[in-house]
Amino acid sequence: MIVEPAVFVVVFAGLLFAFSLLSRRISGTVLTAQIFFVAIGILLGPAGIDLLGIPATSSFVLLLAEVALVITLFTDAARIDIRSLGENRQLPGRLLLFGLPLTIGAGVALAALLFTDLTLAEAGLIGAILAPTDAGLGQAIVNNPGVPVRVRQALNVESGLNDGGAIPFFFLFLALTEAEAEVAPLSLLLSLVVEQIGLGVIVGLAIGFAGGWLGRWSLSRGWISGIYWRIDILALAIIAWLVADAVGGSGFIAAFIGGLATAAAFKRVREEEVSFAEAEADILNLAVFFIFGLIAGGLIGSIDWTVILYAVLSLTVIRMVPVAISLIGAHLGRDSVLFLGWFGPRGLASIVLLLIAVDEAGGIAGMQTISLIVITTVLASVFAHGITANPAIRWYARRLAALHPDAPERKGGEELPTRGGMSTTGRASDGYRGRNPPL
């Protein structure tokens, strides 16, 4: 059953309200918000009772997903101050500079090996789409004080920045795929990719530095107040995206670079600055996961064993081996390397990049296979990482207890803001410390 976007919004808003009423009660259980909305989407969609449906090719779906990713890219980049990590910047640096390219390469190689009907460019598209990790799905880890701050912040910084790092690879492989399908000459497509990346970087730097400087200038004079501390970040993210798109650049790259530039110009973007924009992004993210559930449910019957095998490999070998290689010389214990390798959940960025690929190159021969692989991997990640988060934290804490006090994992460091906010004690900050909120 296909419904109008207005009906979808009403249903989603009702589900969001219902989940919010129980959110504190179910916190700490295996039922994450992402699991809830994906599961409800499958239940209400064509694979379930068929009460709700919305096509993946809908302009409404693509716009909603793009806005969600734009705000997430900007706020994730803006809230992470690499300078504050001090010596602890080594771990996220290794994961981003070495682990990310190796993950993409491993994803491409195994996709080409398992799916011989795909071209190398199509396999590359799979590798790039599934390389980014989702900070939202990893909140249970990065907000838990039971995980050492050094390990926690490595995952926090990696998930906040690697989606921006994977996007240029995605555009490159998308151009190669379109060239193979003779959509346009390769030289033209590659020049467009370079133009998109270059203009996206220029627009992001210009808007980020200008916006950050103006924000700091206004704040120093006491001109900006209240909720407008929060609105300015949301406004800058949207401006960077739309301006870059208007001049032919990548709005995603502009949003990511804009977030980094804003943080640099503002010197340190405070937690309150990004909280409003993150709240908006979280709502949109859950809407995307709900849509994902509606779409994924209808494709479950088409999934075969090779797709399932690749999904399992993507969450294990394709992620864990590059992480292990990138951490050679970091002197972390085997348990820490395994923990860092496992918690690379796939989510929002992978969903949005797939929607873009379908919109721009939906007619290529391998798109059905690409869609099945990405959907299966994200679906497996939502449930596997959500269910294993708390048990894995308890297991890791027991293993850490046996380590020497001078072990590299125990090295201290400054707490950085995480998605949803972090108090100095390492607990998620919700504005009150008691069991119940003030009335």
Do the domain assignments include residue 143? yes
Check pLDDT > 60 for residue 422: no
The rounded mean pLDDT for the chain is 83
d(CA 263, CA 137): 24
Check pLDDT > 60 for residue 271: no
Confidence (pLDDT) at 1: 61
d(CA 198, CA 307): 35
d(CA 287, CA 293): 10
Mean pLDDT of 191-214: 87
d(CA 319, CA 104): 9
Check pLDDT > 50 for residue 103: yes
d(CA 373, CA 379): 10
Check pLDDT > 80 for residue 59: yes
d(CA 335, CA 397): 10
Instruction: Please give the full DSSP string across 373-435, using - where no structure is assigned.
Output: HHHHHHHHHHHHHHHHHHHHHHHHHHHHHTS-TT-GGG---PPPP-TT---TTSSPP-S--SS
Confidence (pLDDT) at 196: 85
Do the domain assignments include residue 411? no
d(CA 132, CA 218): 35
Do residues 424 and 350 make contact, with C-beta atoms less than 8 angstroms apart?
no
Confidence (pLDDT) at 89: 75
Confidence (pLDDT) at 102: 96
Least confident of 124-133, 153-162, 275-284: 275-284
Do the domain assignments include residue 428? no
Task: Name the nearest CA neighbour of 345 among 75, 111, 132, 40.
Answer: 132
Cα→Cα distances 325→58, 75, 153, 334, Å: 41, 29, 19, 12
Higher pLDDT, 113 or 405: 113
Higher pLDDT, 5 or 336: 336
Confidence (pLDDT) at 214: 85
Do the domain assignments include residue 154? yes
Cα→Cα distances 311→248, 288, 373, 379, Å: 34, 20, 7, 9
d(CA 151, CA 166): 22
**All residues at 6 or more sequence positions from 279 whose CB lies less than 8 Å from its CB, including other chains:** none
Residue 186: pLDDT band (50, 70, 90) is low
Confidence (pLDDT) at 133: 92
d(CA 252, CA 250): 5
* pLDDT tens for each residue of 11-31: 999 999 999 998 888 877 788
For the chain, what is the domain count? Answer: 1
Residue 399: pLDDT band (50, 70, 90) is confident
Confidence (pLDDT) at 260: 87
Do the domain assignments include residue 370? yes
Confidence (pLDDT) at 120: 92
Burial of 394 (0-12, 13-18, 19+ CB in 10 A): exposed
Burial of 63 (0-12, 13-18, 19+ CB in 10 A): exposed
Residue where the block lists tokens 């990713």: 69
Confidence (pLDDT) at 436: 38
Do the domain assignments include residue 79? yes
Confidence (pLDDT) at 92: 87
Q: Which amino acid is at 393?
A: I
Instruction: Fill in the DSSP letter of residue 133.
Output: -
Residue where the block lists tokens 């808003």: 13
Least confident of 236-250, 251-265, 273-287, 357-371: 273-287
With the C-alpha atoms ordered 262, 265, 266, 269, is the resulting torsion angle positive or negative?
positive
Check pLDDT > 70 for residue 88: no
Confidence (pLDDT) at 215: 78
Confidence (pLDDT) at 425: 33
SS3 per residue for 93-115: HHHHHHHHHHHHHHHHHHHHHHC
Residue 438: pLDDT band (50, 70, 90) is very low
Share of the chain above pLDDT 90, in %: 40
Q: 131: domain range?
A: 5-404
Do the domain assignments include residue 381? yes
Instruction: Please give the full DSSP string across 235-287, using - where no structure is assigned.
Output: HHHHHHHHHHHHTTS-HHHHHHHHHHHHHHHSSS--HHHHHHHHHHHHHHHHH
Least confident of 118-127, 232-241, 424-433: 424-433
**All residues at 6 or more sequence positions from 141 whose CB lies less than 8 Å from its CB, including other chains:** 147, 152, 155, 343, 389, 393
Residue 426: pLDDT band (50, 70, 90) is very low
Task: Name the nearest CA neighbour of 151 among 376, 335, 309, 275.
Answer: 335
Do the domain assignments include residue 260? yes
Mean pLDDT of 311-327: 96
The CATH number for 326's domain is 1.20.1530.20
Instruction: Fill in the DSSP letter of residue 181.
Output: T
Two structure tokens written together for 320: 């864990």
What is the pTM assigned to this prediction?
Answer: 0.87
Least confident of 32-41, 78-87, 225-234: 78-87
d(CA 344, CA 47): 28
